C-alpha cells in the first residue's frame, strides 16, 4: 500500500490523531483519538472507549478517515526555513472499522507499552484504566497531506 511506511512512522510518534465519522443525519463528526495501532500493512486496531459519538457512528456505518499530522516546532521551523518538507507533514488513513470486541492480552500489552508510564496519574485512571474494547480497522488507502509547493517533491 502506497505511503504505508510513512503511516507507520507518523502514527507511531503521534499521540493525538483525529478520526472523522458520519452521524446518522449525515453531519461529519471529528474527534481526537490516541489509541490507534497499525498492526500490519493495511490493518490496525483502535482502542475504543471515548468518545461515545464515534462509537455509535461506527456501529451504524464503519467508514472513517483518520488524520495523522506531524507536530513539533522544530519539524515545522525546519520546513518553513527550507521552503519544503523533508518528510510528509501528515496523512489521511481511510477505511472501515469492524465490530467492537474485547482486546486480547497481547493487544492490552501493546496499549500499556505506549501509555503505561502514565498509570500512576489521576488522568490515566479516569481515561484509560478500563481500556478493553477494540475495533479492527482495515485501511483502503493512505493519502498524503499536501501543503502546496512545500510537499511537491514528496507526493
Q: Is the pLDDT of residue 6 over 90?
A: yes
Instruction: Find the DSSP H helices in 13-137.
Output: 52-60, 73-82, 105-115, 122-127
Q: How confident is the model over 31-86, as pLDDT tens digits? A: 998 889 999 999 999 998 866 788 999 999 999 999 999 888 999 999 999 999 99
Reported pTM: 0.90
Length, in residues, of the chain: 155
Q: Taking residues 90-110, report their average pLDDT.
A: 95
Q: How confident is the model over 102-114, as pLDDT tens digits? A: 999 999 999 998 8
Task: Quote the pLDDT of residue 71.
Answer: 81
Q: Tell me the pLDDT band of 15, cut-offs 50, 70 and 90.
A: low
Give the DSSP H/E element, type plus range, for residue 4.
helix 4-12
Task: Quote the pLDDT of residue 94.
Answer: 98
Q: How many helices (H) and strands (E) does the chain have?
A: 5, 7
Task: Quote the pLDDT of residue 14.
Answer: 79
Q: How confident is the model over 111-133, as pLDDT tens digits? A: 998 888 888 999 888 888 888 99
Set of cell numbers at residue 143: 493519502
Q: Is the pLDDT of residue 22 over 90?
A: yes
Task: Quote the pLDDT of residue 77.
Answer: 95
Provide the percentage of residues in the chain whose pLDDT is more than 70. Answer: 98
- The fold adopted by the segment(s) 4-144 is Pnp Oxidase; Chain A (2.30.110)
Domain limits of the chain? Answer: 4-144
Amino acid at each position: 500500500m502506497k505511503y504505508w511506511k510513512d503511516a507507520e512512522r507518523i502514527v507511531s510518534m503521534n499521540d493525538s490523531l483525529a478520526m472523522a465519522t458520519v452521524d446518522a443525519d449525515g453531519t461529519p463528526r471529528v474527534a481526537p483519538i490516541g489509541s490507534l495501532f497499525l498492526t500490519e500493512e493495511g490493518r490496525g486496531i483502535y482502542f475504543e472507549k471515548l468518545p461515545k459519538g464515534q462509537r455509535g457512528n461506527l456501529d451504524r456505518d464503519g467508514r472513517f478517515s483518520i488524520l495523522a499530522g506531524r507536530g513539533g516546532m522544530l519539524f515545522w521551523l525546519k520546513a518553513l526555513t527550507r521552503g519544503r518538507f523533508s518528510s510528509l507533514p501528515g496523512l489521511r488513513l481511510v477505511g472501515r472499522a469492524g465490530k467492537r470486541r474485547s482486546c486480547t492480552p497481547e493487544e492490552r500489552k501493546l496499549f500499556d507499552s505506549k501509555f503505561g508510564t502514565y498509570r500512576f496519574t489521576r488522568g490515566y485512571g479516569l481515561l484509560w484504566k478500563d481500556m478493553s474494547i477494540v475495533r479492527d480497522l482495515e485501511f483502503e488507502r493512505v493519502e498524503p497531506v499536501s501543503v502546496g509547493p512545500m510537499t511537491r517533491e514528496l507526493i
